[in-house]
Amino acid sequence: MIIIKGATVCFTGHRVIPEKDYPEIQKRLEDEIIALIHQGARYFGAGGALGFDTMAALCVLKLRTEFPHIRLILVLPCREQAERWSERNKKIYGQILKQADKVVYTAERYYRGCMLKRNRYLVDNSAICVCYLTEDSGGTAYTAEYARQKGLQIINLARC
């Protein structure tokens, strides 16, 4: 599969999304992905983490039935990412993994910094970054700032 950077969108967001905000964020996310598809986006990269990453991956998979040309690319920090997750979350992760069009591991095993490497890979191979960012620090804030520095268009669903 040849992936064109200009047609690629990456996602980054918090692992915890307030339950009361979940339906609204999910709707904004779906609307934004559809709009991006109509603008030519074809490849969607997600980091496979809990929270927003999972929401984004599931949304792309859902929309793939309506837009069969789109592709979900999972960019994962290491093979054992979900090792300590709950059984419920492992099951959802496994379903996403099976349905992804491509899986990239940025490291074989966990090491300090592997999440950062994953996030940079997502940004470095994308033209647009869709995020759910509500805090000024942490991994999501770092990734969104890195995307801004790299010249990506940034769409923050927390501020729509």
- Write down the pTM of the prediction: 0.94
For 116-126, the pLDDT digits (tens) are 999 999 999 99
Domains of the chain: 5-159 (3.40.50.450)
Give the span between the Cα atoms of 106 and 131, in whole angstroms: 21
For 88-133, the pLDDT digits (tens) are 999 999 999 999 999 999 999 999 999 999 999 999 999 999 999 9
- Among residues 31, 16, 32, 38, the alpha carbon closest in space to that of 130 is found at 32
Mean predicted confidence (pLDDT) in 125-153: 95
List strand residue ranges (DSSP E) for the chain, in order.
8-13, 43-46, 71-76, 102-105, 128-132, 153-156
Which residue do the tokens 């859902």 mark? Answer: 62
Half-sphere exposure in the Cβ direction for 54 (13 Å, CA): 18
The residues facing 56 across adjacent strands are none
Element (H, E) at 32: helix 22-38
